[in-house]
Structures are given as structure tokens and as C-alpha cells.
Amino acid sequence: MSLGNIIYKFSEPVLADIRRHIPLSADPCRPRTFFIGSSQRHCQKNPPPACEETRNPQLSQTQSSVMSIVADQVRRVDSQLDRLQLAHLKSATSSPALNYRRLSTTSEATEQISTSPQIEELQVLIKALSATSSSKALLPAWRISMLLGQAGLSEGEVNALGETKSPYEKELEWLLVSKATVQAYGVLLNTLLEQTIPLSNDIWYWDEVLGSYTSTAIYTIQTSPLRFWDWTKDIYEDSRERFSRLREAPEETLSATAIGTSVTARWKTFYGLVRDSIRERSVTDIQARVLSPLAKSRSEARRKQAGLRRLREMSASGLGVLMDEGLNFDISEDSTGIQSTDSDWNVVVERSVALMDTVLRNVTALETGVSEFEDMVFATVANDPEISSRSMGMGELRDKPAKLCKRLQNILSTHIPAHVQAQQHLRSQYGRPNRLVRYWLPATALLLSSTTILRIVVNRKAAILEWIQDLGSTMQDFWMNWIVDPTKKIIKTIRHDEGSEVAIMSRESLKGDRDSLERMVVDFAIDNPQAAGMGGGSLNDAHIAEIRAKVKEGDLTPVLRAYEKDLRRPFVGTVRGDLVRTLLIQVQKTKVDVEVALSGIDALLKSQELVFGFVGLTPGFLVCIGVGRYISGMFGERRGQKYGHRAGQMIRVLRNIDRILTTSTPSPSGILSYKDHGLLLCEVHVLRSRAAKLFPGEVEREFFEDVNELGDISIGIERQLKVVQRIRWAYGKWLSK
């Protein structure tokens, strides 16, 4: 298998989507100079308008949702490296010398090269280090270092197996080191991002402390144990130093009795030295009482905030330098535009390794400014003795992979952990106090009051259990009486169950009273025909039927006539019994009238029976809905608050981006400096991470397109500010929730 086939196999996925890959900062249209000074960088010219069409290719929705800035950069650089190898292979195969060499090479030699164990091992390692060989573009540092150790690269013309290196094997060694450099480059970028982004939270904490005297007072109380501990430790160290000087004094100036020989005497001497040290420090404290404790705390907060700002600026500058100048092969997205000699890309890899090494060594040196740091980095890389000059031949360059491999392993195993440790030390020195310091006061109050709370719970155990039981029975009764039973009644009403009908009186009550009234009136009319208008004769069936019909209509004329007659002579009517009889008939008539009215109400209730059933269910149902919403709100509100908190964070990140762009000092062409570019990359990284699951699918893809355009500094600050405005009005619907 030839080198061209290996490279083509590794780079085939890259060439398939090369048009869809988004360059973040190293745009092909951006004029760049490798390792220029910070002052020279501002003298670059504007990007040519002819390159507008090649900038900003599109990412698919799946890629844009999972890729980070570092992964994008690593994939882009790795694809450029593969295309450089393909271009080199294409130019080599077209040369007459190579054709002549191919004709003179035997098949046995070719078979020996293709079956060499060292070459096969290198091919496997190159594939493992390729950013396009798997879905994960970045490998961890230990994995990269392990793969480099497995390669067993050696200097000279003999490999680890004792065989003479072929030109093909040397090319594979360079490709292996280049792939490892790309991966180490991604690890370093990711480390700087992870170390720089949290610094903003600590800076915001000091802003809150300095924002009001109340916050400053709380901070003073929180850190008072640490201040007391530092004061005690200083007293102890000073007293111990004095005691040591006292013991080491010359014999002619100090006798043994001045110190004492017994343990008690020595402790008395040491105690006296402690009192002297405290007395001296008390005088110093009296002189320093001009400043209040709050003023001292505010001064300390300002000092730590300034240290964090310097640390963030230095880290951002290192990130910007690596992103802009690291592994810059200076090729366009079009493969036909590659113009490079055989040694150019090797020198770029060497310089990039030196750049990473120099940045790691100096990025935490806060005593130097940003400009001094950038100039020192470029000067150190320019004078690095391990970097090959462009005048070297390919034979000398082919001996470099082993040295680069050792240097990369040293960066991965030593410099990056040392940088992380130094960064953590600086953050612990200047960052906000840990949680133990911030929350010791409420934790102590809770601990002291825990015994009282426990005593109250134990003493009222029976009452608490009774309250719990009452609460459970109340909830059960409410559920059965106000939810279950009304629901059952509604179901019976819908099914026309006779037992569920609503009624004030029984069904046959009105009919019986009405029939009784008819009989009473008919009997009275038969006994008193003159009251019925028949004179002295008896009533026939027709008259009786007529009286019955009138009684059904409520006409009691015979009874009322007799009643009116008896009222003229009430005593006689009472003795005769007719007056009492007419009164009782009228009472029965009143009873029938009342029952008729009640029957009308019954009919009304029956017609609205379903409505009344729902009215009876409504209170319990509303209470259940309210309780359910409250309980679900306790959990759903967290999701809503999390969503709103994420949107609020994105608004603040956009504000930070706008502030970076407006307060930066750009070059005459409108390009950001290294420091501002690094700060912008941190904010863009946070913006992309906060946007996960915040937008719908199509909107999310468009949002990532705008964010990628925002991170492209080659378009200039003016267009970047317009992109910020576009994000605000285009996605304000989701950012305002």
C-alpha cells in the first residue's frame, strides 16, 4: 500500500464534505503571516472582496449541534494536512524522476516495503490519530502520548526494529507527528478554553462583593476565620523565628540562663516572645485603624479581581495566538490553490510545536503584560534552535520526527499538567473563596440549632404523628366525598338512573292530594246542592263530572259559596259544621297548590340535573387542579427557571461579545487583536454550549450558522457587530423567555 493510498483512505471523508466545513478563525480569505509580531499584525490589509464567496460554508444540523470550536478547528487543520499530502503526492507522481525511479524499482522491494511491520504499525497509528477516522475529533492527552510511544520513532537511518528506514517510512513518520501535533493542538486549545471561561464567574463574584457595602460586610464575615488564622500563623512564625535567633545567639551576648534549661522555662521564654510579637502587631494595627475592615476587604477584592483580569487576558491572548498562528498552512478551501514546497508544511508543524511549548511556559506569567507576552512568544519561537530553516534539505528534515515526538510527549505529559496546576493555583489565589468559607456561618448556625430542633421533634412526636394522620384522613375524605361520589352521580345521571333523580317531593304525592280534593268538593256539593246552583234538587252524573273538571282547574265555586253564606252567620255554620268543612276543603286546596308549585320546581331540577351534578363536582375538581399545578410547578418551575436562566445567560454572553467588539483596539483593516480574539472565542464557545435544546431544529441550525459567522474575525468588527444585532432580533423570541 502506497503513501498516497493511505492518505486518500484517511482523507476521503474530509474531501466528501470539504465544502460543508466551517472555518472559524483561519479563513482562507484572511491574509495572514505566520508568527508576525503583535504590532505588525495591525498592519495587515483588508481581505480581498473576491474571497467573499468562499467564506462561511454551511454545516449540517447534526454537525453544528455537536461540534465545538476546538473540534471544528481540529477537523479543519486535519483536513488541510490531508490535502497537502494529496497535493504533494500528485506533484510527485507527475515528475519524470519519480516515473524513472518507479520503472527501476523491483516488485520484491515494493512487497518488502508494504509488508514491513514498522510501516504497518505507523499506518495504524496514523489512522488512530486522524481527526476524521471517528466521530470524535479530539483525543485525550494520555491517548496521544501513548500512541506516540507506540510508534517508537528513532533518530538516524535505522528504525526501532534495526532496519534501515525507507523514504516511504520517513514520510509516514512525518505524517504521524503532524497528526499528533494536530491532536495536541486541540488538547491545548480545549485546555485554555476550559481554564479561561470559569474566570468570568469569579470576576462577576468580585463585582458583586464590590457592588454594595452589604456584600462587602458579608465577605468580611465569611473570611474572618481565615484572617484570624493568618494572623495567628504570623504570630507563631514570628515568635518561633525570635526564639531560634535567641538560641543561636553568641555565648558572650547571651547566657544559658536567659533562655532556661528546663521545659517550663523555655515555654515561659517562648510565651514572652509571643506577647512581644502580639504587642508589636497591636501597635501596627492601631496605626492601620485609619482603614476600616470593610475598606480592607474592598481593597483585597479589587486586588484579586485585577489578578483575575490579568490571568484571563493572558489566557485569552495565548488562545488567540494559537488559534490564529498555530498550524497555519495558508491554503484555501480549493485544492487547486495549494502552492507549497515539500518542506513548507514540515516547518509549519515544527513552528507550531514550538509555539505550543512557548505559550504553555509563559501564559501564566502575570507579571508581564499582554503585548510583552505576545512579543516574547514570537521572539522565542523565531529563535528556537530545534526549528529547521527553510533552506534545509529533505534529508535533514526527515530526521526531525523523533525530536518532535519527544517534544510533543513532553508537552502532553509535563507542560499541560503543569499549566493546569499553575492555573488552578492562581485561581485559588485570586478567585472567590471556596464553599466552606462562604457557607461556614449558616452551617454553624444550623449545627448549633440542630439539637434544639431535634428536641422539639422528639417532644412533639405524638402530636406530629397525629397531624400526619389527620392530614391523611382529611385528604381521603375530601377525595371520596368531593370527587368520587359526585363523579358517580354524574355518571348515573348520564345513564338515566332513576335513583339519581333530584326531587323535592315524591312522584304520587300531588296525584293523591288532588284526587282527595276532588272527592271532598264532590261530596260537599252532593250534600249541599243549593251551593252548587241546583236549588233543592239532587246532582246527576253530568253535574258531578262538571264539578270534577272545575276542581282540576282549581275552581271551588260550590265550596266558596257555602263559605260566604256561613260567614254571615258563623255561629250557626259552626254548629251545623258547614263552616269548618269549607275551611278544611280550602286547606286541602292550599296544599294542592303548594304541591303543584313544588312539582314545577322538581321539573326544573330534573331538566338541569346534569348541570347541578357538575356544579357539585366543580369545587373539588378545582381544588385538585390547584394542588396538582402547585406540585407540578415545584418540578416544572425548575425546568422553566432553567430554560429562562439559560436564555438570560445567552443575553449576558451577547452583551459580553458586543462589549468585546466595541471596546477592542482593531487593526486598520478592522481585525481583532489576539487577546480580543481569544476573549471572543470563549464567549462564542459559551454561547454555543448554552444554545443546546433552546431552539427548534431548523432555528438551531440557523443560529449556529450566525454564531460561526460571529466567530470569524476575518469579516471585520463592523460586520461582527451586525451579526450580534441580527442574533438579537432574529432569536429574541426564544432569548426573551
pLDDT digits (tens, 9 = 90+) for 395-421: 555 568 888 999 999 999 999 999 999
Residue 579, classified by CB atoms within 10 Å of its CB into exposed (0-12), middle (13-18) or buried (19+), is buried
Domain stops at, among 441, 470, 501:
501
- Single-letter amino acid, residue 668: P
Q: Note the pLDDT tens digit of each residue in 337-357.
A: 555 555 578 888 999 999 999
Q: Is residue 235 part of a domain?
A: yes
Q: Is residue 311 part of a domain?
A: yes
Is the model's pLDDT at 13 over the cut of 50?
no
Claim to verify: residue 578 and residue 678 sit in the same structural domain: no
Claim to verify: residue 603 and residue 674 sit in the same structural domain: no
Q: How far apart are CA 420 and CA 213, in angstroms?
A: 34
Q: Which of 79-83, 332-336, 534-538 has the lowest mean pLDDT?
A: 332-336
Q: Over range 442-461, report the average pLDDT.
A: 87
pLDDT band at 377 (very low <50, low <70, confident <90, very high): very high
The grid cell for 183 is 491532536
Q: Is residue 80 part of a domain?
A: no
Claim to verify: residue 670 and residue 724 sit in the same structural domain: yes
Distances (CA, A) of 495 to 481, 488, 490, 499, 504: 21, 11, 9, 11, 21
pLDDT band at 252 (very low <50, low <70, confident <90, very high): very low
* Partners of 164 in the β-ladder: 158
Q: Which of 205-219, 313-327, 639-653 has the lowest mean pLDDT?
A: 639-653
Claim to verify: residue 431 and residue 474 sit in the same structural domain: no
571 against 23, higher pLDDT: 571
**The pLDDT of residue 712:** 86
Claim to verify: residue 404 and residue 390 sit in the same structural domain: yes
Q: Over range 19-40, report the average pLDDT.
A: 38
Would you mind telling me the total number of residues written for the chain in this entry? 737
Claim to verify: residue 135 and residue 182 sit in the same structural domain: yes
* Partners of 158 in the β-ladder: 164
**The pLDDT of residue 413:** 94
Q: Report the chain's mean pLDDT, rounded to a whole number.
A: 76
The count of structural domains within the chain is 4
Q: Is residue 77 part of a domain?
A: no
Q: Helices marked H in 17-66 — which ranges? A: 61-66
pLDDT band at 108 (very low <50, low <70, confident <90, very high): very low
Give the percent of the chain with pLDDT over 70: 71
The grid cell for 445 is 448556625
Is the model's pLDDT at 249 over the cut of 70?
no
**The pLDDT of residue 14:** 40
Q: Is residue 95 part of a domain?
A: no
Is the model's pLDDT at 46 over the cut of 50?
no
pLDDT band at 196 (very low <50, low <70, confident <90, very high): very high
Nearest to residue 177, comparing CAs of 23, 3, 405, 368? 405
617 against 415, higher pLDDT: 415
pLDDT band at 290 (very low <50, low <70, confident <90, very high): very low
Claim to verify: residue 124 and residue 242 sit in the same structural domain: yes
The grid cell for 732 is 429574541
431 against 665, higher pLDDT: 431
Q: Is residue 120 part of a domain?
A: yes
Asked whether the whole model's pTM tops 0.95, one would answer no
485 against 529, higher pLDDT: 485
Domain stops at, among 469, 501, 533:
501
Q: How far apart are CA 634 and CA 631, in angstroms?
A: 5
**The pLDDT of residue 89:** 60
**The pLDDT of residue 276:** 66
634 against 104, higher pLDDT: 634
**The pLDDT of residue 255:** 46
**The pLDDT of residue 529:** 76
Q: How many CB atoms lie within 10 A of CB 177?
A: 27
87 against 385, higher pLDDT: 385
Q: Over range 427-443, report the average pLDDT.
A: 90
Distances (CA, A) of 295 to 180, 219, 224, 298, 584: 52, 12, 14, 5, 102
**The pLDDT of residue 105:** 41
The grid cell for 9 is 483512505
Nearest to residue 667, comparing CAs of 46, 52, 37, 51? 46
Claim to verify: residue 704 and residue 590 sit in the same structural domain: no
Q: Helices marked H in 363-415 — which ranges? A: 370-382, 394-397, 401-410
Q: Which of 183-197, 292-306, 387-401, 686-700 has the lowest mean pLDDT?
A: 387-401
Q: Is residue 98 part of a domain?
A: no
Q: Which of 119-133, 186-200, 238-252 has the lowest mean pLDDT?
A: 238-252
Is the model's pLDDT at 104 over the cut of 80?
no
Q: Over range 83-103, report the average pLDDT.
A: 55
Is the model's pLDDT at 57 over the cut of 60?
no
Distances (CA, A) of 464 to 179, 263, 292: 69, 60, 50
Q: Is residue 17 part of a domain?
A: no
The grid cell for 328 is 497555519
Q: Over range 219-241, report the average pLDDT.
A: 81
Claim to verify: residue 315 and residue 374 sit in the same structural domain: yes
Q: Note the pLDDT tens digit of each residue in 159-179.
A: 666 667 777 888 888 899 999
The DSSP 8-state label assigned to residue 165 in this structure reads P
Claim to verify: residue 720 and residue 673 sit in the same structural domain: yes
Highest mean pLDDT: which of 151-165, 415-429, 610-624? 415-429
**The pLDDT of residue 58:** 35
Claim to verify: residue 557 and residue 570 sit in the same structural domain: yes
Claim to verify: residue 321 and residue 386 sit in the same structural domain: yes
pLDDT band at 489 (very low <50, low <70, confident <90, very high): confident
Residue 724 domain boundaries: 635-735
Distances (CA, A) of 451 to 113, 445, 457, 464: 80, 11, 10, 18
**The pLDDT of residue 122:** 86
Give the percent of the chain with pLDDT over 90: 25
